[in-house]
Structure 1
Amino acid sequence: MAKVTVSLDAQLVVEVMVLAGVSSPQDAVELVVRDYIARGHRTEARAAAREEAPRETREWPRDPEG
């Protein structure tokens, strides 16, 4: 797979490293990106499941006419 080099603020990367519990800046950023992508896939799956699910409609009693 192709590699990409990105410059980031050191304080931002250190915070991600602490939150992720890793000692490598590369690993920390990779974990964040992978988590972001996985979260997007889960959101898409939930949205698709919601669209495919039959909608529940509640019918209220009608007022008598006349």
Structure 2
Amino acid sequence: MAKVNVSLDAELVVEVMVLAGIGSPQDAVEAVVRDYIARGHRTETRTDHTDRGLREVDVKPQEPQG
């Protein structure tokens, strides 16, 4: 996998390390990024399921009213 170097504020990285309980700055920031991506995928899965359900309701013919 390709690597990217990013400059971050030291206080920000230290706070991430403390919150994540990880001693390496690289590992701490990587863990946060991976968690962010995983959370996004979980959200997509939940909203996609809801969207599909709503689309199925919209597609069904409605009973004549009156």
TM-score, normalized by length of structure 1?
0.78
Q: Distance in 2 between matches of 1:31 and 1:39?
A: 12
Offset at 1:53? 2.0
Q: Following TM superposition, where does structure 1 have runs of at least 4 consecutive aligned residues deviating by more than 4 angstroms?
A: none
Structure 1 unmatched ranges of 5 or more: 56-66
Query: How many residues were matched structurally?
Result: 55
Q: Which runs of 5+ in 2 are unaligned?
A: 58-66
AA paired with 1:46? R
Q: Percent identity?
A: 73
Equivalence for 2:5: 5
- Please report the TM-score for the alignment, with normalisation by the length of structure 2: 0.78
Higher-Rg member (1/2): 1
